A and B are shown apart, each in its own frame.
Chain A
Amino acid sequence: MTLQTVLLVAAALFSVGLYGALSQQVVVMVMMGLELMLNGLILAAAGFWWFLAPDPSGQVLLLVIIVAMTVEMAMGFAVATHLHRVRRADMTDMAADLSG
C-alpha cells in the first residue's frame, strides 16, 4: 500500500463515477455517480494525509469533503422530490428548460 496505489484506486472510483454522472438519465442515478466521485476524493484525501503529512488538520479537510457529500445528497433528494411533485419528472432530460 503506497500513495501511488491509493491514488490509482481513487482515480478508478472517480472515473467510474464520472461515467455515471454523465451517462445516466435518472436524477437519482446521476446523484449516485456524483457520490462515487466524492468516494474517490475521500480515499485520495485520506491517502495524501497518511503518506505526506499526517497532522490533524488534514483530517479536518476530510470531514469537509464528507459534509459536502451529505449536503449534495440532501439537496439532491429535495430537488428531485420537488421536480417529481411539480412535473411528475424523474429524469434529467425532462427538466432541461435552461439547457443551451
Chain B
Amino acid sequence: MITHISFWALAVVAVLAGAAVFYVNSMARASYALAVSFIAVGVQVLLLQQNYVGVVTILMMVMEMAVMAVYMVMFMGMNPALMPMSMVHGKRHALAAAVGSFVLLAAGAVLIPWPARRDAPPADLTKALGEELMGPKMLVMAVVGAVMAATIVAGVVLAAHRTRYDRFGDDLRHRPAKDPQPGGVGR
C-alpha cells in the first residue's frame, strides 16, 4: 500500500516538475525542476527494485544539473535565477504534437493486453547485474566504455578554445605555431 501511494506521489511530482521546466521563467529554476523530476523518477525506479540503476540516475542527474548551472553562469552573462525569459516558437504545434503523442502512447499502454511476468527476479539484483555485465554482456560494457571515451575526446575538441589546427594550420605543417604569446627557445 505504501509503495502504491509513494509511486503515485512521485509520479505527480515527476510530471509536474517536468512541466514546470517549461513554465518557470528562469533557466536556474528550470534546471532545479528537471533535477526534481529526475530524482522522482529515480526513486520510482528504486521502487521497481532496480537499486543500482535508480541510484545511478539520481547521482548522475544531480551532477548534471550542477554542470548546467555552471554553464549558465559562464555563457548566459546574467544572473540566471533572476532573469525572466520566455523564448518559444511554434508553441501551438508543439502542444498539439505533445498531446497527440500522449494520447497515442497512453492508448497503447492501456489497450494492449500485456503478457504476464515470465520469470521471478533474482534474489540480489545488483549482484546479478554485475555478473551479467562482467559475463555474457561484456560486449555492451566494452562498447559503452569506448563510446564514453570518444565522447570525452569529441567534447574537449569541440569545446576547446584553440586546438592544434589553430596552432599548426589545417595540414598541421605550419611552423612555428601561431600562438598568441610567442615563446620557447630561440624565438
Contact = CB atoms under 8 A, between A and B. Distances in A.
Given A8-B110, A75-B151, A42 B57 contact: yes
B125 to A, nearest CB: 7
Contacts, number: 231
A19 B75 CA distance: 25
Interface footprint category on A: 35 or more
Contacts of A5: 7-8, 11
Nearest to B44: A43
Nearest to B70: A77
Given A46-B44, A60-B133, A82 B159 contact: yes
Query: In terms of DSSP, what is the predominant structure of the interface of chain B?
Result: helix
Interface in A41-62: 42-43, 46-47, 49-57, 59-60, 62
Given A33-B22, A36-B18, A60-B132, 10 more contacts: A19-B94, A29-B27, A43-B41, A46-B50, A55-B121, A56-B125, A63-B53, A64-B140, A66-B53, A71-B148
24 contacts: A7-B109, A8-B109, A10-B105, A12-B15, A13-B15, A13-B37, A14-B101, A14-B105, A17-B18, A18-B101, A19-B94, A25-B87, A26-B27, A33-B22, A36-B34, A43-B14, A43-B41, A46-B53, A50-B49, A56-B132, A59-B128, A63-B129, A63-B133, A66-B53
